[in-house]
Amino acid sequence: MLTQEQVRFYKDNGYIAVSNILSDAEVRHLQEVTDGFLDRSRSVTKSDDIFDLEEGHTAAHPRLRRIKRPIKQHPAYEAILHHPGLLEVLQQLMVPAIRHYGLKLNLKPGGGGDPVEWHQDWAYYPHTNDDLCVLGIMLDDVTEENGPLLIVPGSHKGPVLDHHQDGMFVGAVTDPRAEEMYPKAVPLLGKVGDITIHHTRTLHGSAANMSPGYRRILFLTLRAADAWPLTEMPESLDAFNEMMLIGEIPASPRLAEVEVRLPLPRPTDWLIRRDSIFEKQRDLRNSPFARPSAKAEPARQADAAD
């Protein structure tokens, strides 16, 4: 359970960091499963349906940056979506009825693992209301050096920023209004097993991993059960309802007055890129991460109340 103060912090800032929700054994299991995939990636030489590899990947020095569609790859990833402790926290921050929108597992190898360009998740998948968030589970300690998630506090209440370049959706902020927001970002640091949650409209990104080791974070994407996608509806209502995690299936979508940027014209090879944020963002010119940025203060780390 979160305290009222923690809930207020999330509502005001658009993010929160929480410890002590997952047990050591639960986190160790996720780490071991992920270690197994990292090991398997040694036998692969180019990105495929499971592995998204960085340049320089070899069997001796695997540079695995993402495991694609974790739900399909191992039951441990699917199972974590149903974790009662996580769902309780999410219900406090969102609404009683929650559906998922999939999982992402970014591994960010050491020695310069790719940055994730600044973006708002909402730009990728606008819904009928913006009661959506992303919950990250740290599978390694996250430090200043290894490419922590950088979050701009309060940005979820600001504008929906432009993510288009030359008329195409590039999955990264191109909006000049963001320039003054980047220096306000805070890094979400923490220990293995800590979780972070950020609102779908919160501006975030992460720099290259300059430590020697991996920085692995498993991300769960959640949405209010009555938030219906404006872009990609699952192939059937049954498939949509199979994504329910807790609460009642609502009779109809809830419409909220939220800013939306559509359409999202995409490159012709979008389907090939669809499971890798790194590929989706690769057309961006002028990455802010290519130049030195102001160092930010570590974010407040809050414990979950009993």
Ligand X SMILES: O=C(O)CCC(=O)C(=O)O
Report phi then psi at 271, rounded to 5. -60, -35
Q: How far is the CB of 134 from ligand X (least distance, A)?
A: 7
Q: Nearer to ligand X by C-beta: 209 or 226?
A: 209
Q: What does the per-residue mask of binding to ligand X show for 133-152, with x meaning CB under 6 A?
A: ----------------x---
Whether the bond into 109 is cis, omega within 30 of 0? no
Q: How far is the CB of 39 from ligand X (least distance, A)?
A: 21
Interface residue with ligand X, options 116, 135, 137, 189 (CB under 6 A): 116
Q: How far is the CB of 217 from ligand X (least distance, A)?
A: 6
Q: How far is the CB of 248 from ligand X (least distance, A)?
A: 29
**Which residues in 115-143 are b (16+ Cβ under 10 Å) and which e?**
bbbbbbbbbbbbbbbbbbbbbbbbbbebb
> Counting contacts by CB under 6 A, is residue 104 touching ligand X?
yes
Interface residue with ligand X, options 93, 95, 217, 220 (CB under 6 A): 217
Number of residues that bind ligand X (CB under 6 A): 10
Interacting residues of 16 by C-beta distance below 8 A, sequence separation 6+: 2, 6, 9, 10, 93, 196, 197, 302
Report phi then psi at 53, rounded to 5. -105, 145
Interacting residues of 279 by C-beta distance below 8 A, sequence separation 6+: 52, 272, 273
Q: How many CB atoms lie within 10 A of CB 84?
A: 9
Q: Nearer to ligand X by C-beta: 185 or 277?
A: 277
Q: How far is the CB of 4 from ligand X (least distance, A)?
A: 28
Written as six digits, the tokens of 45 are 């030489």
Q: How far is the CB of 149 from ligand X (least distance, A)?
A: 5
> Counting contacts by CB under 6 A, is residue 206 touching ligand X?
yes
Q: Nearer to ligand X by C-beta: 33 or 134?
A: 134
Interface residue with ligand X, options 277, 281, 289, 299 (CB under 6 A): 277
Q: How far is the CB of 204 from ligand X (least distance, A)?
A: 6
> Counting contacts by CB under 6 A, is residue 106 touching ligand X?
yes
> Counting contacts by CB under 6 A, is residue 202 touching ligand X?
no
Q: How far apart are CA 194 and CA 207, in angstroms?
A: 20
Q: How far is the CB of 115 from ligand X (least distance, A)?
A: 8
**Binding to ligand X in span 218-237, by CB under 6 A:** 219
Interacting residues of 263 by C-beta distance below 8 A, sequence separation 6+: none
Q: How far apart are CA 91 and CA 88, in angstroms?
A: 5
> Counting contacts by CB under 6 A, is residue 299 touching ligand X?
no
User: Nearest residue by C-beta to ligand X?
Assistant: 206
Q: How far is the CB of 171 from ligand X (least distance, A)?
A: 9
Q: How many CB atoms lie within 10 A of CB 262?
A: 10
20 phi-psi bin (left φ>0, alpha ψ -120 to 50, beta other): left
Q: Nearer to ligand X by C-beta: 106 or 155?
A: 106
> Counting contacts by CB under 6 A, is residue 127 touching ligand X?
no
Interacting residues of 23 by C-beta distance below 8 A, sequence separation 6+: none
> Counting contacts by CB under 6 A, is residue 196 touching ligand X?
no
Q: How far apart are CA 306 and CA 303, in angstroms?
A: 9
Q: Nearer to ligand X by C-beta: 104 or 156?
A: 104
Q: Which residues bind ligand X (CB under 6 A)?
A: 104, 106, 116, 121, 149, 204, 206, 217, 219, 277
